[in-house]
Chains A and B, each alone.
Chain A
Amino acid sequence: MLRLMTETAKLQMKQSFARPMFRFCLIANPFLNTILLYEMFLGAGEEDFFSYVVLGAGLMGLWSCICFSSAGDINRERYMGTLALVFAAPSSFQAVIYGKIIGNTLLSLFSFVVSLLTAALLFRVPVTVHAPGFFAVAFLAAVVSFIAISSVIACLLTLSRKTELYMNLLELPLALLCGFVFPVEMLPKPLQLCSALLSPTHAARLLRMSVTASPDRALFLRELAVLCVLTLLYLSGAVLLYKRIDKRVRIRATLDVA
């Protein structure tokens, strides 16, 4: 199973990078977003560019890659006519999907590097991580949480033929709700409740906390606990969804046409 996931992840990275849209999300999006965010934050005399410009652009780039790749991979398999084959093969379909998501997410982390390099080289933004230990933990937790949310979305989109539409609709609303580039406290209270249920909100908070001068340990651990619980819930949800979808497509035999 591990070998299957590793090989799928490797293949997925190659396939994803071959697509111009993925290259846009991975390279051009964080580069252009960093320029846009830097110029906007410069107007307010903001000094902490790293928190909102570098991390914000990196998170938006990562999320775009997920939306336009992990979420759409099932549809891509359907379009190529290989979905039913992958689904019916003796190897676990779920392992293949997780392999794809892991491969995409790992490759998508490069968007943080692009954002960091753009800010550091183009605008001379000081890159200082005050608590590297906290940052490492926050980064790892964020990556796992993004894999979890991608798996839920990928499962849901298996049932639709309008994946392209939903991929587009997912990108910015989630960036808004999760406060990638501004605090979620700016949103109305009901929307803040929705934000609290989304794991990327907590991942963004953790990452932001870990680059500040003196992160509050208790607050950090609380956010981390919430993120871990949500990630586990998402993963369980994805497993349950997969079982239901598996049953449904076997009964209706409509996998290739949704």
Chain B
Amino acid sequence: MNAIRRFFSEAFLSQKGRSAAFAAEEFVLFEIAYPLVTMIFYCLLASFSFGTVRLERWVIGNSFLLCTNACVFGTGRVFAMERYNGRLRSIIASPCNKLAVLLSNGVFPMLFALCAAVLGMLVGSVIFHADFSGVNLVLVAVAAVCAMISATGFGLLLASVCLISDSMHLILNIAAFLLMIFTGTEFPVERLSFAGQVFAWMMPLTKSVRATHLLLDGDSASYVPLVCAELLTALALVLLSFLILRFAETAARKNGRFDLF
């Protein structure tokens, strides 16, 4: 019980640390307004490039992509910020469970990402008159939760990678673009080359986005396997991030360069 309380306390404190520098209106601007503008931008682009007014696919897809802000740029900077604030050495040297530290940092970004996705769908359906009647919204919500868990796993992986690199902004921004290109939110994955498609299916969000697209088409047969595959992707990403963290930790203990990279 004490461990659970400490886990959520750590999650709350890390979120407080991330947002402490911002006033409430700036926080809203950055966490809500900016992601919504991003979604509107890509929906308008899709409307123009695909010459369509039926934007349900892009409203849902881009709502899922709103997690980028919280999961990639929020979670992805976790360890880089710990290093910047001088706390990384203490975390590594302490006997605490590193996986718990890693996961606790993902709790609030995941919740924010989920809120952003729901808000994105609501705002998108109002602005672009997206019609979701006939779509099982409970299944869409389940797919969204799985997508956010998976995206948070991706963020944690990026956070671990940032431990062994000094090009944090470069890595995080490229990751955000990869999500746009390889998850089928902006254009069908089938348009990519074979290698591109293989990579796309290894990425987070791809399966959830496909599942919701199928729901829009009235096909729910492949829904469960796709959502399960998304959860497996999340698990794989968290495990991979933990392995990278262990590798970075061992390397840092040997070289004594943890505060450098």
For the complex, what is the distance from the CA of A21 to the CA of B173, rounded to whole Å?
A: 8
| Other-chain contact of B22, A20, A33, A44, A165 (Cβ < 8 Å) | A165
| CB proximity of A78 to chain B, nearest CB, Å | 15
| Proximity string of chain A (173-203) to chain B, C-beta cutoff 8 Å, 1 when within and 0 when not | 1011000011100110000000000000000
Cα separation A221 to B160 with both chains bound (whole Å)? 54
Find A165's partner among B30, B37, B41, B170 (CB 8 Å cutoff): B30
Complex alpha-carbon distance, A174 and B7, angstroms: 40
Whether A169 touches B34, Cβ cut-off 8 Å, given contacts A32-B181, A182-B49, A186-B48, is yes
CB-based contact B181/A44 at 8 Å: no
Beta-carbon nearest neighbor of B174 in chain A: A28
Q: Are A20 and B45 in contact (CB under 8 A)?
A: no
Q: State whether the Cβ of B40 lies closer than 8 Å to any Cβ in chain A.
A: yes
Q: Which residues of B contact A172 (CB under 8 A)?
A: 34, 37-38, 41
User: Which residues of chain A are near B141, meaning CB under 8 Å?
Assistant: none
Q: How many A-B residue pairs have CB under 8 A?
A: 92
Question: Do the beta carbons of B44 and A46 come within 8 Å of each other?
Answer: no
Q: Which of B38, B49, B170, B192 has the most CB of A within 10 A?
A: B49
Q: In the complex, what distance in Å separates the CA atom of A29 from the CA atom of B174?
A: 8
Contact at B167–A186, with CB atoms within 8 Å?
Answer: no
Query: From residue 11 to 37 of chain A, which have CB atoms closer than 8 A to chain B?
Result: 20-21, 23-24, 28-29, 32-33, 35-37
Are B181 and A182 in touch, CB under 8 angstroms?
A: no
- Alpha-carbon distance between A221 and B152 when the two chains are bound, in angstroms: 51
The answer to whether A43 and B174 touch across the interface, beta carbons within 8 angstroms, is no
Q: Please name the 10 residue pairs, one residue from A and one from B, whose CB atoms are nearest each other, closest first.
A: A182-B48, A20-B167, A21-B169, A20-B170, A32-B177, A40-B49, A39-B187, A176-B41, A24-B170, A41-B49
| A91 interface residue per 8 A CB criterion | no
Residues from 51 to 66 in B contacting A, C-beta threshold 8 Å = 51
Question: Assuming A37-B49, A44-B51, A181-B48, what are 8 further A-B pairs, CB within 8 angstroms?
Answer: A21-B169, A29-B177, A36-B180, A37-B45, A46-B49, A175-B41, A176-B37, A181-B45
User: Does A162 reach chain B (CB closer than 8 Å)?
Assistant: yes
Task: Determine if B29 is an interface residue (Cβ-Cβ < 8 Å).
Answer: yes
Interface size in chain B (residues, C-beta < 8 A): 35
A-B contact pairs, 8 of them (CB 8 A): A20-B166, A24-B169, A29-B177, A37-B49, A39-B192, A40-B186, A176-B41, A181-B45
User: In the assembly, what is the distance between CA of A175 and CA of B47, in Å?
Assistant: 16
Instruction: Tell me whether B26 is interfacial, beta carbon within 8 Å.
Output: yes
Q: How far is the CB of B11 from chain A (nearest CB, A)?
A: 23
Question: Which of A32, A40, A52, A173 has the largest number of chain B CB atoms within 10 A?
Answer: A40
Query: CA of A21 to CA of B174 in the docked complex: distance in angstroms?
Result: 10
Residues of chain B lying within 8 A (CB to CB) of residue A32: 174, 177-178, 181
B110 at the A interface (CB under 8 A): no
**Best-surrounded residue of B22, B170, B191 (most CB of chain A within 10 A):** B170
Q: A196 to B233, alpha carbons, bound, how many Å?
A: 46
Contact B44 A176 (CB under 8 A): yes
Give Cα A162 to B177, complex, Å. 25
Contact with A along B161-187 (1 / 0, CB 8 A): 000001111100110011011000011
A38 vs chain B, min Cβ distance (A): 10
Q: Which B residues touch A183, using CB under 8 A?
A: 48
Contact A44 B50 (CB under 8 A): yes
Which residues of A are found within 8 Å of B47, using beta-carbon distances? 182, 186
* A184 CB, min distance to chain B CBs, angstroms: 10
